[in-house]
Amino acid sequence: MAPGRSKLKLTKGSNTVWHHATVTRADRERLNGHRSVIIWFTGLSGSGKSTLAHAVEEGLYELNCRAFVFDGDNVRHGLCGDLGFSPHDREENIRRIGEMVKLFVEGGVIALTAFISPFAKDRRKVRELAGDGDFIEVYCRCPIEVCEQRDTKGLYRRARMGEIPEFTGISSPYEVPENPELVVATGETPLETCVDQVIAYLRQRGVITPVRHALP
Amino acid sequence: MAPGRSKLKLTKGSNTVWHHATVTRADRERLNGHRSVIIWFTGLSGSGKSTLAHAVEEGLYELNCRAFVFDGDNVRHGLCGDLGFSPHDREENIRRIGEMVKLFVEGGVIALTAFISPFAKDRRKVRELAGDGDFIEVYCRCPIEVCEQRDTKGLYRRARMGEIPEFTGISSPYEVPENPELVVATGETPLETCVDQVIAYLRQRGVITPVRHALP
C-alpha cells in the first residue's frame, strides 16, 4: 500500500483491536474522476427512457465514467421479482430501487434508472432519500399517441384490450413532473441529440468535467 | 466519442428507430483493469466479517480497484429495512442482497458482503444466482467464545439474557461452510494478515492482476 494513504490502523500481533477502515464516496469519486449521482428517467411506457438511459451510459463510458443503468430488464425479475403492479407494489418497487441506487452512488457510480415511476410522491421519496443534490430527474416527454404508435412490446394494445390492468396512461395515471432538472422531448428529438442534452447538463452541473479524454 | 468504439447505432433525424446501446460487464472490467466478483464473508456475529471486508476494500482501493462493502450498516436500515430476523425474513434478506450485488458485479465492481448468512441453503442460492465463478465464499472462522468475549455491540450478552430471539450461535444455528473458497482464521490472525490472504487469493484467481501500481 502507498504510505500515508491508508486510513487503516493496524495493531500488529493483536486481533482484539480491529479498527474499521473506510473508503469514502469522495475517495471513489476522486479515483473515478467524476461525481456520482442518480439520473432518474421518468416517462410513459414507450417514451424511450431505457433506450436513452443506455445511450447516455454508453456516452459516459466513452468518457471513462462509471455508469450503470437500472431498468425493468435487470430489476423486475431480480430484486423486485416478488412484486406486482398494484399501487403498494409499485411504491415498494421504487423504494427498493431508490435504496439500491443510493448504494451505487455511495460506490462512486453514476446510476441511471429507467422506470415509468408514474407517481410524484414516489419520485419525491427517492429524491429525499438520495439528497437533493444527488438526484437528477429527467422527464422523457413523449405524447402517449407516439408511445402507443411505437408500442414495441405490444403493451398498449394489450392494455386497450383490458389484458393489462392498471397500465400507466391508459388505466392508471402518470403524474407529469412539475420541476424536473431536465426535460427531454423524446417524442420528437433524435436519440443522439437527447444524449447530448443529458451529457451537457451533467457537465453544467459539474458531475463530469467540461473536458475529458476519450478512451484511446 | 472515440470513433470505432461506439456500439450505439444512430439514425440521424429519425426518432422511430432507437437502437439499444449496451455497455457490457467486459467493457467495464476492461475500463477498471480488474474482474468483478462477489466476495461473500460469512461467520458468527463478532467474527470480524465487516471489519475484514472494509479492510480488504481499503486494500483494493489502494490498488485502484473498484470495490464496495455491503453490511448491516448500509443494508439493514435501507433496502431490507422492512425485514426482521425470522427464517423467512433472513432468507429474503439474503435474496435481495444477492440480487443487488449481482448488479454491482455486472457494473464491474468487486462486491464484498459481510452478513452472518448462517444457512448453507441461502449462501448456495446466491452462489447459483451469481454463477460459480463469480462467487468467492470466505469463511471467517472464529470460535464463539472469542466472538462472545469481544461482543463489541453487547449482542451476545443480550442474547444470553433472552432479549434477542433467534440469535445465531446461541438460539439459532450457524451452518459452517463445507467448501468455501477461503477460510480465514479471524479469531487468531492479525487483521493485516487476513487482508493479505484475501488479496493473495484474488491475485491467484486472476481477479486482480499479479502486479498493480498503487496510487501516487
* pTM of the complete model beyond 0.80: yes
Residues of A in contact with B102 (CB under 8 A): 78
Q: What is the pLDDT of residues A58-83, one digit of tens each?
A: 999 999 999 999 998 899 889 999 99
Here the cell at position A172 is 392508471
Q: What is the pLDDT of residue B167?
A: 92
Please tell me which residue of chain B has the smallest CA distance to A199: B1
The domain limits of chain A are 25-204
Contact present, A95 and A125 (Cβ < 8 Å): yes
How far is the C-alpha of B8 from the C-alpha of A61, rounded, in Å? Answer: 12
Q: What is the pLDDT of residue A11?
A: 39
Q: Which of A6, A9, A10, A18 would you mutate first to test chain B, the one with the most B CBs within 10 A?
A: A18
Alpha-carbon gap: B81 to the closest alpha carbon of chain A (Å): 10
pLDDT at position B16: 39
The residue-averaged pLDDT of B56-77 equals: 94
- CA-to-CA distance for A161 and A151, rounded, in angstroms? 14
Tell me the HSE value of A24 on the side-chain side, using a 13 A CA sphere.
6
Alpha-helical runs (H) found in A119-190: 120-130, 144-150, 155-160
The overall average pLDDT reported for chain A is: 89
State pLDDT tens for residues B97-122.
999 999 999 999 999 999 999 999 99
* Domain A25-204 is found in CATH 1.20.1440.230: no
Give the pLDDT of residue B43.
98
pLDDT digits (tens, 9 = 90+) for A112-150: 999 999 999 999 999 999 998 999 999 999 999 999 999
Grid coordinates 464473508 are at which residue? B41
Q: Is the pLDDT of residue B7 over 80?
A: no
Q: What's the pLDDT score for residue A86?
A: 83
**Cα–Cα distance measured from residue B102 to residue B90, given in angstroms and rounded to the nearest whole number:** 18
Tell me how many degrees the CA angle B124-B126-B132 measures, rounded to the nearest 5: 75
pLDDT, one tens digit per residue, over B144-193 is 999 999 998 899 999 999 999 889 999 999 999 999 999 999 999 999 99
Of residues B114, B93, B98, B123, the one with CA closest to residue B49: B114
Residue A214 has pLDDT above 70, yes or no: no
pLDDT for A100: 96
Distance from CA of A48 to the nearest CA of B (A): 8
Residue of B nearest to A105 (CA): B68
Q: Which residues of A touch B64 (CB under 8 A)?
A: 31
Asked if residue B18 has pLDDT above 70, the reply is no
Q: How far is it, in rounded angstroms, from Cα A155 to Cα B200? A: 51
CA separation for the pair B149, B152 (Å, rounded): 9
| pLDDT of A84 over the 90 cut | no
d(CA A190, CA B11) in angstroms, rounded, equals: 8
Distance separating alpha carbons of residues A69 and A67, to the nearest angstrom:
7
Q: Which residue has the cell 425485514?
A: B83
Q: What is the mean pLDDT of residues B197-201?
A: 98
Are B72 and B38 in contact, with CB atoms under 8 Å apart? Answer: no
- Evaluate if residue A18 carries a pLDDT over 70: no
Q: Testing the interface with B: which of A70, A103, A147 to mutate, by most B Cβ within 10 A?
A: A103
The amino acid that residue A198 corresponds to is: V
How high is the ipTM of this complex? 0.86
Say if strands A135-140 and A110-114 run parallel, antiparallel, or are unpaired.
unpaired
- Look at residue A216 in the predicted model and tell me its pLDDT: 54
**What percent of chain A shows pLDDT beyond 90?**
77
What pLDDT, on a 0 to 100 scale, did the predictor assign at position A34?
97
pLDDT of A67: 97
